[in-house]
C-alpha cells in the first residue's frame, strides 16, 4: 500500500539512533508529526537531511520516499524497514535484482515506473530529467484499479430508487468474476506481467496514463511477453543491462536446463503460462 507519510502510516523505527551500511551513516528522525532521514555519505561526502513524504508497503516491509526539490520528482531512501524483524536493511538486499556496489540512489523511479501499479489512475507527465509532474487519482490499489471507472456506479447507488438489493438494477461497474476467464485474468495481468509498448503507446501512456480499463482487451494497449518465442522483445529493452542478463523466459513445455548459460547461478528463469 502506498500512503502519505504520517504517524498513522509509518511502521519503521524512527528513534534518532545512528547505524551504518557500506560506509554510509543513517539516522531516522521523528520530529512532531514529521519523519526525516539524516544521511552522511562515505569518505567525507556531504551529509543530507531528507524529509520523507510517502511510504510503500505495510505488511512485511516498508519503503520511504523523499522529495528531491525538483517538480514532483521523488527519490527512494536506500533502506527498507523489515516490519516483522524490526530491522533496517539496504533496499537492494531485500528484492531480487542485479547486484550493485554500495547503496544505489534511485530518484525518479516512482515517477517513471512504480506509480503504474502502486497507485490508481496514474499519469507520468515527464518532460525532462527533473521535470516530473506525475499525478495519480488515488494512492495504492484502489477500487477502480480492478473494477474500472466508478463514478456512474456511485451515482446509481446513491439514488434512493436503486439503492436496494434488486438484481434487476444493472451495475455500471466491472466485476472480474463476471468476465470471461481471459479478460478476468487480464485485470491482474495489468501489473503481474512483463510487456513492451510501441512508441505511440509509450507517448500516450507518458502523458495521459494507460488506456486499459478492466474488462478491455489488455493486449490492445501493450504487447505481453509470453515465453521463449518472445525473448527477443525483452532483450530489445534489457538485453544489455544487468537485469536483462538475469532473466530468461521459457514456455511451460520446454526443458529449462539450457537457461543456466546466462550468468550461471545468477540466472532467474521465468515461466509464464498463457
Q: Tell which of 94, 112, 138 closes a domain.
A: 138
Domain ranges, residue 16? 2-138
The cell for 237 is: 529493452
Residue 143 in any domain: the answer is no
> What is this structure's pTM?
0.80
Other CB atoms within a 10 A radius of the CB of residue 157 amount to 15
Q: How many domains does the chain have?
A: 2
Q: Tell which of 103, 138, 173 closes a domain.
A: 138
Q: Could you tell me if 17 and 125 lie in one domain?
A: yes
Task: Give the tens place of pLDDT for each residue, 219-248.
Answer: 888 888 776 777 777 777 666 555 555 566
Mean pLDDT estimate for the chain: 82
Q: CB under 8 Å to 78, separation ≥6 — which residues?
A: 24, 90, 91, 92, 103, 104, 105, 106
Task: Give the tens place of pLDDT for each residue, 194-227.
Answer: 888 888 888 888 888 888 999 999 988 888 877 6
Q: Could you tell me if 6 and 133 lie in one domain?
A: yes
Residue 40 in any domain: the answer is yes
Q: Tell which of 112, 138, 164 closes a domain.
A: 138
Amino acid at each position: 500500500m502506498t500512503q502519505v507519510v504520517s504517524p498513522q502510516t509509518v511502521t519503521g523505527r524512527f528513534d534518532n539512533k545512528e547505524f551504518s551500511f557500506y560506509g554510509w551513516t543513517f539516522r531516522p528522525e521523528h520530529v512532531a508529526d514529521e519523519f526525516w532521514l539524516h544521511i552522511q555519505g562515505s569518505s567525507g561526502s556531504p551529509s543530507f537531511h531528507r524529509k520523507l513524504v510517502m511510504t510503500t508497503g505495510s505488511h512485511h516491509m516498508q519503503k520511504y520516499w523523499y522529495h528531491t526539490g525538483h517538480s514532483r520528482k521523488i527519490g527512494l531512501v536506500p533502506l527498507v524497514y523489515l516490519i516483522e524483524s524490526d530491522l533496517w536493511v539496504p533496499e537492494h538486499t531485500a528484492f531480487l535484482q542485479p547486484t550493485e556496489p554500495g547503496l544505489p540512489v534511485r530518484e525518479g523511479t516512482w515517477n517513471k515506473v512504480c506509480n503504474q501499479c502502486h497507485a490508481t489512475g496514474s499519469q507520468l507527465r515527464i518532460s525532462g530529467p527533473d521535470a516530473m509532474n506525475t499525478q495519480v487519482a488515488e494512492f495504492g490499489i484502489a477500487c477502480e484499479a480492478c473494477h474500472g471507472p466508478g463514478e456512474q456506479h456511485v451515482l446509481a447507488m446513491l439514488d434512493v430508487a436503486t439503492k436496494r438489493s434488486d438484481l434487476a438494477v444493472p451495475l455500471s461497474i466491472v466485476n472480474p468474476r463476471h468476465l470471461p476467464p481471459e479478460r478476468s485474468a487480464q485485470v491482474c495481468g495489468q501489473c503481474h506481467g512483463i510487456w513492451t509498448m510501441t512508441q505511440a503507446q509509450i507517448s500516450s501512456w507518458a502523458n495521459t496514463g494507460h488506456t486499459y480499463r478492466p474488462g478491455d482487451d489488455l493486449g490492445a494497449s501493450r504487447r505481453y511477453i509470453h515465453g521463449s518465442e518472445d525473448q527477443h522483445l525483452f532483450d530489445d529493452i534489457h538485453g544489455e543491462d544487468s537485469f536483462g542478463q538475469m532473466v530468461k523466459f521459457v514456455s511451460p513445455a520446454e526443458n529449462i536446463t539450457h537457461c543456466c548459460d546466462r550468468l550461471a547461478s545468477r540466472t532467474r528463469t521465468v515461466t509464464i503460462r498463457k
